[in-house]
Amino acid sequence: MNEINTVSLDFPSRSVNEAFARGAAACFAAQLDMTMTELGDIKTAVSEAVTNCTVHAYPDSIGTIHMRLRILEGNVLEIQVKDKGRGIEDVERAREPLFTTGGEERSGMGFTIMESFMDSVKVRSRPGAGTTVTMRRRVGRRPAGR
C-alpha cells in the first residue's frame, strides 16, 4: 500500500507519556475524518501498546518507545509501537487473554484489547532485543453532509 502521510515519535517509557501517545495518535488519525468512536478505539489500542512497553519491556528502567503513524491508501491507519527492551519469550502465549508477566495488578488483556479495536495486530519480538507491534485499521468514509 502506498503511504500518504507519516509521522514518527520517540519518547521515554514513563507512564505519563501513555496519555501523550494516545493524544498524538488521535490528532494524526483525525485527518481520516474518523468518528469519535473510531478515535476512541485507536486511542485505546495505542494505550495498550505503549503500556506494554512501559510495564514489560522496561520494567526496571526507562527506555525509548518509538511510535510511527502512517496513513496508507484506502483509508488505512497503521500504528507501529516499538521498543528495544526485554522482548517476549513466547509471543503466542503472551497474546492469550489473561496471560501476564506484569504481576497481580496487570490484567493480561493488552493484546486482546488491541485485537478487538484494530483490523490487524502483528507482533514481532526477540528476547533481549525488543518488540514491535504493528496495528492497522481501515476507516470508512462518512457520507457527505455529516
Which one from 48, 70, 78, 137 is the annotated catalytic residue? 48
Active site residue 5: no
Q: Pick the catalytic residue: 106, 115, 124, 136?
A: 106
32: DSSP letter? G
Asked if 131 and 87 touch (Cβ cutoff 8 Å), the reply is yes
> Helices (H) and strands (E) in the chain — how many of each?
4, 5
Q: Which residues, other chains included, contact 106 with Cβ-Cβ below 8 Å and sequence gap of 6+? A: 55, 100
The reply to whether 106 belongs to the active site is yes
Query: What whole-number distance in Å separates Cα of residue 126 and Cα of residue 138?
Result: 28
CA torsion sign, 13 to 15 to 20 to 25?
positive
Known catalytic residue at 48: yes
Catalytic residue among 38, 52, 86, 137: 52
Active site residues: 48, 52, 106
